[in-house]
Structure 1
Amino acid sequence: MVRLEMGFLLLIVLLICVFGVEANGSDHKYKENDHVPLYSNKVGPFHNPSETYRFYDLPFCTPDHVTEKKEYLGEVLNGDRLVDAPYVLNFREDKESQTICKKTMSKTDVAKLRNAVSKDYYFQMYYDDLPLWGFLGKIDTGDSIDGNENDKYLLFKHIHFDVLYNNDRVIEINVQTNPNLAVDITEDIEVDVEFSYSVKWKPTDVSFEKRMDKYSKTSFMPQHLEIHWFSIINSCVTVLLLTGFLATILMRVLKNDLVKYSHEEDSLEDQEETGWKYIHGDVFRFPKNKSLFSAVLGSGTQLLALAIFIFILALVGVFYPYNRGALFTALVVVYALTSGIAGYVASSTYFQMEGTNWVGNLLLTGSLFCGPLFLTFCFLNTIAIAYNATAALPFGTILVILLIWTLVTSPLLVLGGVAGKNSNTDFQAPCRTTKYPREIPSTVWYRGTIPQMAMAGFLPFSAIYIELYYIFASVWGHRIYTIYSILFIVFIILIIVTAFITVALTYFQLAIEDHNWWWRSVLCGGSTGIFIFFYCLHYYHVRSDMSGFMQTSFFFGYMACVCYGFFLMLGTVGFRASLLFVRHIYHSIKCE
């Protein structure tokens, strides 16, 4: 345990050193008329965040030689493809109007741009690592003529940049498009377009260290912050009341059970046992499919450790707004480094259950989550390649991920498995298991697995329901999530409620003499992941404007993997809590 704790500590220190803690890691200083890098990133439909394309895929003014910026792993996973922009914004150099190029748009180019304007295409750029956005054009809805809409498709041909500076550093940049300086691309005819831009520099008192605060403040408005805290308080009160209510009932029932069983032990006449004590010889009987069960616990424990480390990095300030790709890099690195946890937990559990096929169990553990994720990625990456979207990963990036999996994830998984195999720990059971299992009596329908899963998943989901909207609006929209402290509180509430409701349902299951609680506790604990997936359906059809085959595939494909990960993680939490509870109550009675 000491070695594991030291390993976790070294992992945290390593990640903090890799990503940095402060948002002002850049030390960019410029003199007057110095060149400040401006990169064009991507374009795409505003309502489809995954459907993005390279900037020069549209017929803009393309330079003779396009220089691509070197990108890190997380930036590529984020879909960033930065290239030199056609605009020159030297430090503190005002420009009234500067022509980029004069271009004759063919009919094909006009149709392509009109389609982009009709889908609300936007562009994204980075200036000195500061993001900026703008729309390519707009639809001017005119009056109806003979019942037909007289819409005009206008393409913006002039962009104005407002740049704020403090001494020798860039603080803020805003972009404006002038509808009066637009060209009509409604008809399929050749159009002559003169693209131009202007720049205005203004001084400001905002320090360089606080230049990212603008994005944090505008990510969610003050009233949204109040809603955040209101939702947290509401969830806490609800959870405290419900868990307190259930805890009171459960403790009183347990107390009565213990008193009754102690009287039965003192009485020679009363030899018949009823209730959960009646199955003490079967309650610690190992479940079916021991290898799969151990793999679920190993993968779930790894994902729980992954979530905790990501929260630690978020709380120390690593994921500041528009730290491009930092979250994706952290997910890949931390998942690879925590694979030893999955191997250790799966192997030690498997050998405690007297398993023999150690290699097969380790292979199953390594592929239980990565396998479906890899198959989903292959399918979605093929779609992105067909669409020629930036979401398609280059071969080099795929090779890097495979090397990480081969050289880091797999060896650590095997090392963890070897450590778990050599731990030589026996399963701690307070009661001796009988040779033959006792028959489980028939029960009413609402005691079945699916109704119990529905009841187990509803309470944890109700505690995180409000916060899910803000997370979805950030991941599948253009909001920026920065209130990680609130998210961490919600995560802790989710873990506590999942553990408690699973323990309560496990007790009720044992009380009716059903000893197959092992898999049931995993299914009930992980059922919140199923509720989250149903919320995905609601969000897509009601809360969002996403459309198209590619965006729909990406949304449901990756959210299915996320919900599956939640199922494994919370299922592990539910089982561990139930195991502690079952051991405790059977330690409290005398079992023969």
Structure 2
Amino acid sequence: MAEKKGITSTMGCYAVVLVLVCSAIPVRSDASDHRYKVGDPVPLYANKVGPFHNPSETYRYLDLPFCTPAHMKEKKEALGEVLNGDRLVSAPYKLDFLQDKDSEIVCKKTLTKEEAAQFRKAVAKDYYFQMYYDDLPIWGFLGKVDREGKSDPSEYRYYIFKHLHFEIFYNKDRVIEINARTDPSALVDLTEDKEVDVEFMYSVKWKETNTPFEKRMEKYSQSSSLPHHLEIHWFSIINSCVTVLLLTGFLATILMRVLKNDFVKYAHDEETADDQEETGWKFINGDVFRYPKYKSLFAAALGSGTQLFTLTVFIFILALVGVFYPYNRGALFTALVVIYALTSGIAGYTAASFYCQLEGTNWVRNLLLTGSLFCGPLFLTFCFLNTVAIAYTATAALPFGTIVVIFLIWALVTSPLLIMGGIAGKNSKAEFQAPCRTTKYPREIPTLPWYRGTLPQMAMAGFLPFSAIYIELYYIFASVWGHRIYTIYSILFIVFIILLIVTAFITVALTYFQLAAEDHEWWWRSFLCGGSTGLFIYAYCLYYYYARSDMSGFMQTSFFFGYMACICYGFFLMLGTVGFRAALFFVRHIYRSIKCE
């Protein structure tokens, strides 16, 4: 046990230190100190364009026939930026420091029929653009559709904006804020299928502000901190807390009273009638610690779940210390990749140690199963979705070099740490602590009513934890699959703790009722009941997609349901591990409190 704690602690510290080094440093522009003199060029990069309601379906900015800059260069991106779909290139606008401009011409060009059709299709799908000016994000729409007074879509008029106005705020020698707005009167009609002459223009206005440079990112997180939103978040917390208090209070009262009666009854039976036939959960004391079927798979699931739990805790630590501030591009993806790679040793140690405790012999196969249990489905999903992104020529398609980097991380970091953890777990010589001896032959499980089956029990176990988090789920989905910014990580962490408590308590309660019905096959049941919240979250995905979002198209649908399936599967493994650990602690406690022959 001491060895396990030492390995876990060392890996945890290593992960935190390395991720803080890798992702706490924000992505810098060419001017790394963000200080400029009058007339200095300030880096402006065009990132991507795409349908506003399809956040995964984004394309390179110059995939549309915009003006191409004279000296175009691509910005080198970190791993997390590439995973985020960022593809930055120098923009055609020149926004030199403290240089006002009035109706500067970017370029004049004649759009061919094909190019005009490209813009028309983009405007019809509500395309937006995204740029970065001195690492500050800029958004805007490409055009508009005139639907006023027209019921037939064939009568709609399609326009693109040809004039972009930049309003930039500065404090001494630093850029503080930038806003971009289009001129609603400067339009180009693209409705007709013909060549169109376009004169792209822009203007720049500089204004002074007292906002310090250190607070320039705060405006992007203010929307989630508005009183109305905070009120909803706190309502979610109060709702969850009430659920937890009622549930834990009810279960604790019932279980303590029932267990006390059980202990008194069993103690009385031992003193007065030794030959009296035992009933209830004591009756199966010789079977309750019988090892589960498919113990290699069970140990692998515990190892993967423990790793994902550790990953989640580390991500929360980084979020709470402020690493994931708004538009720190790619920081979250970098942290996920690095921490998952570094915590693979925890998965190997947990799986191999528990597998050996269950008297398993083929620990190498168990280790391979542990390494592929979560990564396997994730890899297959990625292969399919990356193929879809390549077919769409979207920025979500990872370049070959990035795929090679991820493969090297897996081959040189994840796999060796998994093997080292597995060897340490195998050599830990830990024994399974069972307070009762297991009989040679298992007892027959009595016939039970349908509602005591696995699926009904999973439905009961998953509903309560899900009800404690579902209000907060909307804001998380709107951030991950939309354009909202989520910054209230403290509230999210409280909700996460509540989720763990409710999962543990409901699993313990259902395990007791299962044992009281003389059903001793509780191992897999407790894991499945604990992880069933992941199935409810995936069901919420269906509701969110069809009722709360405007996402559409094959690519966006594939990305949403594909990656959410992997995330919910991860929740299933993580919460299943929490449920089983709580149930194991409970079962050991109650059987240690009675005399078993």
Is the 2:527–2:580 contact (alpha carbons within 8 Å) kept by the matching residues of 1? yes
Q: In 2, distance between residues paired with 1:269 and 1:523?
A: 37
The residue matched to 2:221 in structure 1 has which SS? helix
1:15 aligns with 2:39: no
Q: In 2, distance between residues paired with 1:491 and 1:552?
A: 27
1:475 aligns with 2:483: no
Q: In 1, distance between residues paired with 2:571 and 2:310?
A: 12
1:463 aligns with 2:468: yes
Is the 1:21–1:317 contact (alpha carbons within 8 Å) kept by the matching residues of 2? no
* Residue number in structure 1 paired with 2:138: 132
Alpha-carbon shift at residue 230 of structure 1 (Å): 1.3
Q: In 2, distance between residues paired with 1:266 and 1:141?
A: 87
Change (3 A) 1:580 1:204: same
1:264 aligns with 2:269: yes
1:433 to 413, 417, 438: 438
* Residue number in structure 2 paired with 1:392: 397
Encode CA deviations 1:294-334: one digit per residue, 9 max, x unaligned: 00000000000000000000000100000000000000000
* Residue number in structure 1 paired with 2:190: 185
Alpha-carbon shift at residue 148 of structure 1 (Å): 7.5
1:169 aligns with 2:174: yes
1:367 to 352, 364, 372: 372
Moved more, 154-163 or 56-65: 56-65
Q: In 2, distance between residues paired with 1:9 and 1:148?
A: 59
Change (3 A) 1:149 1:251: same
* Residue number in structure 1 paired with 2:110: 104
Change (3 A) 1:11 1:170: same
Is the 1:160–1:175 contact (alpha carbons within 8 Å) kept by the matching residues of 2? yes
Encode CA deviations 1:397-423: one digit per residue, 9 max, x unaligned: 000000000000000000000000000
What percentage of aligned pairs have identical amino acids?
76
Letter in 1 for 2:14: L
* Residue number in structure 2 paired with 1:85: 91
Q: In 1, distance between residues paired with 2:543 and 2:422?
A: 41
Alpha-carbon shift at residue 246 of structure 1 (Å): 1.5
Alpha-carbon shift at residue 288 of structure 1 (Å): 0.4
Letter in 2 for 1:96: D
1:556 aligns with 2:569: no
Q: In 1, distance between residues paired with 2:579 and 2:190?
A: 59
Is the 1:142–1:150 contact (alpha carbons within 8 Å) kept by the matching residues of 2? no
1:47 aligns with 2:53: yes
2:65 to 59, 69, 73: 59
The residue matched to 2:160 in structure 1 has which SS? strand
Is the 2:224–2:488 contact (alpha carbons within 8 Å) kept by the matching residues of 1? no
Change (3 A) 1:23 1:235: farther
Letter in 2 for 1:523: L
Alpha-carbon shift at residue 8 of structure 1 (Å): 1.5
Q: In 1, distance between residues paired with 2:289 and 2:228?
A: 52
Change (3 A) 1:113 1:454: same
* Residue number in structure 1 paired with 2:280: 275
Q: In 2, distance between residues paired with 1:541 and 1:14?
A: 40
* Residue number in structure 2 paired with 1:488: 493
Encode CA deviations 1:211-260: one digit per residue, 9 max, x unaligned: 00000103454301111011101210121112211110111000000000
Letter in 1 for 2:92: P
The residue matched to 1:139 in structure 2 has which SS? strand
Q: In 2, distance between residues paired with 1:186 and 1:24?
A: 41
Letter in 2 for 1:460: P
Is the 1:158–1:177 contact (alpha carbons within 8 Å) kept by the matching residues of 2? yes
Aligned pairs (5 A) from 1:213-232: 213-219=218-224, 221-232=226-237
Q: In 1, distance between residues paired with 2:343 and 2:6?
A: 16
* Residue number in structure 1 paired with 2:9: 5
Encode CA deviations 1:449-497: one digit per residue, 9 max, x unaligned: 0000000000000000000000000000000110000000000000010
The residue matched to 2:378 in structure 1 has which SS? helix
Using structure 1 for the length normalisation, give the TM-score. 0.98
Aligned positions, number: 591
Letter in 1 for 2:222: K
Alpha-carbon shift at residue 150 of structure 1 (Å): 3.4
* Residue number in structure 2 paired with 1:38: 44
2:149 to 140, 143, 150: 143
Q: In 2, distance between residues paired with 1:491 and 1:268?
A: 49
1:117 aligns with 2:123: yes
Aligned pairs (5 A) from 1:237-248: 237-248=242-253
Encode CA deviations 1:157-204: one digit per residue, 9 max, x unaligned: 010000000000000000010110010000101100000100000000
Alpha-carbon shift at residue 9 of structure 1 (Å): 2.2
1:511 aligns with 2:516: yes
* Residue number in structure 2 paired with 1:286: 291
Q: In 2, distance between residues paired with 1:220 and 1:187?
A: 45
The residue matched to 2:514 in structure 1 has which SS? helix
Encode CA deviations 1:422-464: one digit per residue, 9 max, x unaligned: 0001100000000000000000010000000000000000000
Alpha-carbon shift at residue 144 of structure 1 (Å): 4.0
The residue matched to 2:506 in structure 1 has which SS? helix
Q: In 2, distance between residues paired with 1:574 and 1:134?
A: 47
Q: In 1, distance between residues paired with 2:594 and 2:545?
A: 52
Is the 2:301–2:577 contact (alpha carbons within 8 Å) kept by the matching residues of 1? yes
Encode CA deviations 1:479-534: one digit per residue, 9 max, x unaligned: 01100000000000000100010000000000000000000000000000000000
Is the 1:61–1:86 contact (alpha carbons within 8 Å) kept by the matching residues of 2? yes
Q: In 2, distance between residues paired with 1:373 and 1:78?
A: 17
The residue matched to 1:174 in structure 2 has which SS? strand
CA RMSD, 1 decimal: 1.4
Aligned pairs (5 A) from 1:197-212: 197-212=202-217
1:575 aligns with 2:584: no
Alpha-carbon shift at residue 24 of structure 1 (Å): 10
Is the 2:80–2:333 contact (alpha carbons within 8 Å) kept by the matching residues of 1? yes
Moved more, 57-66 or 312-321: 57-66
Q: In 2, distance between residues paired with 1:27 and 1:219?
A: 29
1:419 aligns with 2:424: yes
* Residue number in structure 2 paired with 1:313: 318
Encode CA deviations 1:49-100: one digit per residue, 9 max, x unaligned: 0000000000111135531000000000000000000000000000011101
Is the 1:137–1:155 contact (alpha carbons within 8 Å) kept by the matching residues of 2? yes
Q: In 2, distance between residues paired with 1:521 and 1:407?
A: 35
Is the 2:247–2:502 contact (alpha carbons within 8 Å) kept by the matching residues of 1? no
Gaps of 5+ in 2: none
Moved more, 465-474 or 219-228: 219-228
Change (3 A) 1:219 1:58: farther
1:499 aligns with 2:514: no
Is the 2:15–2:338 contact (alpha carbons within 8 Å) kept by the matching residues of 1? no
Which 4+ stretches in 1 moved above 4 angstroms?
21-26
Q: In 2, distance between residues paired with 1:315 and 1:21?
A: 16
Q: In 1, distance between residues paired with 2:498 and 2:191?
A: 54
Letter in 2 for 1:19: S
Q: In 1, distance between residues paired with 2:411 and 2:150?
A: 63
Is the 2:15–2:343 contact (alpha carbons within 8 Å) kept by the matching residues of 1? no
Alpha-carbon shift at residue 14 of structure 1 (Å): 2.5
